[in-house]
Structure 1
Amino acid sequence: MFTPTHPVRSGHSWVLALIAALGLAFAVPAVAAGDDASTYDKDSIIKDAAEFFGETTEGLAKVIEKAFNEQGRPNGYIKGEEIAGAVGVGLRYGDGTLTLKKGGSAKVYWQGPSIGFDVGANASKVFILVYNLPRTQDIYQRFPGIDGSVYYVAGAGINYQQRDNIVLAPIRVGVGLRTGASVGYMHYTPTKTLNPL
């Protein structure tokens, strides 16, 4: 026998299902916001980079802003130094310390081919933004350069290297720009080696 309570119960189930679905939808931004604990914000990166380079330039802030616009918030960075020499095409060697926001640090070395804009050699500091790196040991592999990813703004430069979902964005200021564009790949290793391959 039909009773008028059935449609009401059915309606209540539909309303409860809708509320549950909306609850899940609104829970997604909360999870995304939780990611802030494992990534760096733009202001802290600009501050750390400026302190590391010993200067704040308009170009430095702009290349960092560009990286944030294109790649989002990094979950780590490498502070290091490198030497490079080029006669058109050259070599680059560097070393530094990787730090992840969620904890963990590691010594890292890198070497690989580079393309120079003039003839000569230079030594410089480099600040590398690190994206989507799950663990410190995952840095130890080859990272191909991304074609067309070299940008220069008012004395600062940045380019991208990528392996799967992991993206590295080396930033150089001043004289370090002289051979700032990567060719082929950069090999990151746990120990120093002179072999660029």
Structure 2
Amino acid sequence: MLTHTNHVRSGHSWTLALLAALSFGFASPAPAADDDTSTYDRDSVIKDATEFFGEMTEGLAKVIEKAFNEQGRPNGYIKGEEIAGAIGVGLRYGDGTLTLKQGGSAKVYWQGPSIGFDLGANASKVFILVYNLPKTQDIYQRFPGIDGSLYYVAGAGINYQQRNDIVLAPIRLGVGLRTGASVGYMHYTPTKTLNPL
């Protein structure tokens, strides 16, 4: 009798193990972070950025390469324009359209203080790579700049802003550059405001 009970228990264990194995076999694998359907590849980003800026420069290619090496593949981008001015300390205002690879777009405005130890103003285009943004609405918050992240080469510049897992990487060319831009933070909003804070 004892042997029969053990046999039944053993058979029951095997059944559970088999069911567990089958459930794992049929479970859908989690999408990879760099899945082609949810992120942009390097070549398409370089192509879009080149068309957006109207030119391809050695600096633009290098800053995009740097972003891919450090952050991986972005799942979105913002194409926009901005104005910046400085009298000792600078201000920056911009607007553009956010597009996510898996669908969805939204109008975005941004404003914030920047360090620019010069006198003057400029207007320029900006192409912002967006990483780990779950949905378009999550862009509407303040993103602190990462100290020491400004990278400038051959007329192009990139720096990083981050809140939790979301990383933004604004790319600027030529006159749109201002040394130390976005040190502090940038506030991204759904509507235009003159308040830089």
* TM-score bracket relative to the smaller structure: 0.7 to 0.9
Q: Deviation of residue 33 (structure 1)?
A: 7.8
Greater Cα offset, 158-167 or 33-42: 33-42
Q: Deviation of residue 117 (structure 1)?
A: 4.5
What residue is the counterpart of 1:149 in the other structure?
A: 149
Structure 1: unaligned runs, 5 residues or longer: 1-12
Greater Cα offset, 108-117 or 186-195: 108-117
Q: Deviation of residue 181 (structure 1)?
A: 2.0
- After the TM superposition, which residues 1-197 of structure 1 pair with which residues of structure 2 at under 5 Å, given as runs? 31-32=31-32, 35-179=35-179, 181-197=181-197
User: Which digits, 9 at most, give the CA deviation of each residue in 1:158-191, with x for residues without a partner?
Assistant: 0000000000000000000135521211000000
User: Which digits, 9 at most, give the CA deviation of each residue in 1:92-138, with x for residues without a partner?
Assistant: 00000000000000000000001114211000000000000000000
TM-score, normalization by structure 2 = 0.84
8 Å Cα contact 2:144-2:162 kept in structure 1: yes
Q: Deviation of residue 31 (structure 1)?
A: 4.2
Amino acid at match of 1:85: G
Structure 2: unaligned runs, 5 residues or longer: 1-13
User: Which digits, 9 at most, give the CA deviation of each residue in 1:68-90, with x for residues without a partner?
Assistant: 00000000000000000012311
Amino acid at match of 1:35: D
Give the whole-Å Cα distance in 1 for the aligned partners of 2:35 and 2:159.
25
56 and 180 in structure 1: CA distance in 2 versus 1, 3 angstrom threshold: farther
178 and 42 in structure 1: CA distance in 2 versus 1, 3 angstrom threshold: same
User: Which digits, 9 at most, give the CA deviation of each residue in 1:6-28, with x for residues without a partner?
Assistant: xxxxxxx9xxx9xx7xx98xx97
**Two-structure CA RMSD over aligned residues (Å):** 2.4
Bigger fraction of residues in helix: 1
TM-score, normalization by structure 1 = 0.84
What residue is the counterpart of 1:8 in the other structure?
A: none
8 Å Cα contact 1:86-1:179 kept in structure 2: no
